[in-house]
Structure 1
Amino acid sequence: MSSGVAVNDKCLETFQELKLRKKYTYIMYKLSDDNTEIVIDKTAESASYDDLLNEVPENEPRYIVFDFEFEKSGEGMRNKIVFINWTPDSARIKSKMLYASSKDAIRRSLVGIAVEAQATDMAEIAYESILEKVDRK
């Protein structure tokens, strides 16, 4: 099911800057106020995972791309680009449905995602939870 929501061109340009030039640590996307397109909510050029978690809205869905750096035992530091579909249980039902039906539009546009996570509460996007997912890949 598709919502017909478009992805703003700036979303893809900014993702390329994160992926290829390492300009950003994370990009947070949201639906525009009129729910017609996915736009950039926030970016950070140099942020820790904790910094990202402090920016995640408690009651509103978001799509998040994070350049996740972690240490793989015996192999040193690694980076994987993680896509997080943040849909908190406390969000309005209409909002949750619109984000769910629009996810494929942005997800298909972002080529190079290594790991995808669905989260409905903060425990599901805790560092350890995401680390477990990237370490498996």
Structure 2
Amino acid sequence: MSHQTGIKANDALKKFFSKCKDGKIRLFKVAIEEEQLVLKDHHNEKHKWEKDYDKYVAALVEENQPCYILFRLDEKNSLGYEWLLISWCPDTSPIRQKMLYASTKATLKQEFGSSQIKDELHGTVLSDITLEGYKRHKKSVAAPAPLSMREEELQEIKKTEVNTDISISTKQQTLSGVEFPLTQTATQAIEDMIRGSYDYLQFRIDIPKETIHLVCAENISLQKLPSKIPSDAARYHLYKFKHTHEGDYNESMVFIYSMPGYNLTVKERMLYSSCKNPLTNSIANLGLDITKKIEIDSGSELTEQFLYEELHPTNSLHRPKFAKPKGPPGRGPKRMTKNQ
């Protein structure tokens, strides 16, 4: 899961943000230097946006150095001119630089004003961010997603099927499970987690009301996580597992489904099992990417080593040879006989 770096715009860039939206500035370049977002270059409007784009954008980028370019379009919305955010991250730049710029982009958008950024363009080679590259990007975004043969068949079925009434006991049944809606509090907690307010959420199913409720939202250490797993009730959990892998810092979102054996009713076990996949889909639709889904019986399983191995399983390259079974005991040495 991506995470923000804490890098902020310096005072000079913040002042530039406040005055660059008057319609005179056409584009400007931002880079990361000394753990700050800094203004590197800018150009005023000379012509229509397409001509200025072709003239200035390619000239601002460096071959091996990532940067951001904010380009002002000619269209306006209720807040003013609309802007295009170009993220230049060449393949030849170091991996740490790529990660740093990818993790800081959300902060740049927030400080500039996300509502005024109409579109985003990512480039790894120069042809990605040329005017033709931007036009290809817009055409690709506007095109409908390609459908597989199976999806086309389902689409035709939906067009011709006859709607029927469904009883209350089956109104939310689907082939992939039972979808119970999240309460407003639960939805808000997930959105807060996306913003970094929490690293642990717990949910339960209200069976009579057929809804999913928030139990708690906290910031806890990995050592306290096992104590949050009930031993007498099923629960869903979201935990941000912070760790390092191959020298890089990671924050992985883990979805945990805890079911304490068979001391619960059959109905409760079936509902929690059936609601699991629709719930994770709802969480993903809210914008929270789940890295790994885990099922456990008790909290004692949630150790650092267990979570690490679930996220980064070890691939064994050594395959033991097949051991030839021994013959029956007491057979004695082999004897060679000659044909008479």
- Quick check: TM above 0.5? yes
Residues in 1 aligned to 2:93 and 2:85: alpha-carbon distance in whole angstroms = 19
Map 1:1-137 onto structure 2 (within 5 A): 1-19=3-21, 21-32=22-33, 34=34, 36-46=35-45, 48-49=52-53, 50-69=55-74, 80-111=82-113, 112-133=116-137
Counterpart of 1:24 in structure 2: which amino acid?
I
Superposed CA deviations along residues 82-133 of structure 1, whole A, max 9, x for unmatched, are 0011111111111111111111110122221111111111111110222355
Deviation at 1:10, TM superposition (A): 2.9
Residues in 2 aligned to 1:9 and 1:130: alpha-carbon distance in whole angstroms = 31
Higher share of residues assigned strand = 1
Superposed CA deviations along residues 36-85 of structure 1, whole A, max 9, x for unmatched, are 11010111113522222112111100011001349xxxxxxxx7410011
* 108-117 or 7-16: bigger deviation: 7-16
CA RMSD of aligned residues (A): 2.3
Unaligned runs of 5+ in 2: 47-51, 76-80, 143-340
Residues in 2 aligned to 1:5 and 1:100: alpha-carbon distance in whole angstroms = 12
Residues in 1 aligned to 2:17 and 2:4: alpha-carbon distance in whole angstroms = 22
Counterpart of 1:57 in structure 2: which amino acid?
E
SS in 1 for 2:92: coil
SS in 1 for 2:4: coil
Partner of 2:241: none
Deviation at 1:134, TM superposition (A): 5.4
Counterpart of 1:25 in structure 2: which amino acid?
R
CA contact (8 A) 2:57 2:130 kept: no
Partner of 1:76: none
SS in 2 for 1:105: helix
Counterpart of 2:125 in structure 1: which amino acid?
D
Residues in 1 aligned to 2:13 and 2:136: alpha-carbon distance in whole angstroms = 27
Residues in 1 aligned to 2:102 and 2:137: alpha-carbon distance in whole angstroms = 21
CA contact (8 A) 2:4 2:103 kept: yes
Counterpart of 1:61 in structure 2: which amino acid?
P
Residues in 1 aligned to 2:136 and 2:23: alpha-carbon distance in whole angstroms = 23
| Aligned structure 1 segments of 4 or more residues deviating by more than 4 angstroms | 132-137
Identity %: 25
Q: TM-score, normalised by structure 2?
A: 0.34
CA contact (8 A) 2:71 2:83 kept: yes
Residues in 2 aligned to 1:103 and 1:60: alpha-carbon distance in whole angstroms = 15
SS in 2 for 1:81: strand
Number of residue equivalences: 126
Unaligned runs of 5+ in 1: 71-78
CA contact (8 A) 1:5 1:37 kept: yes
Larger radius of gyration: 2
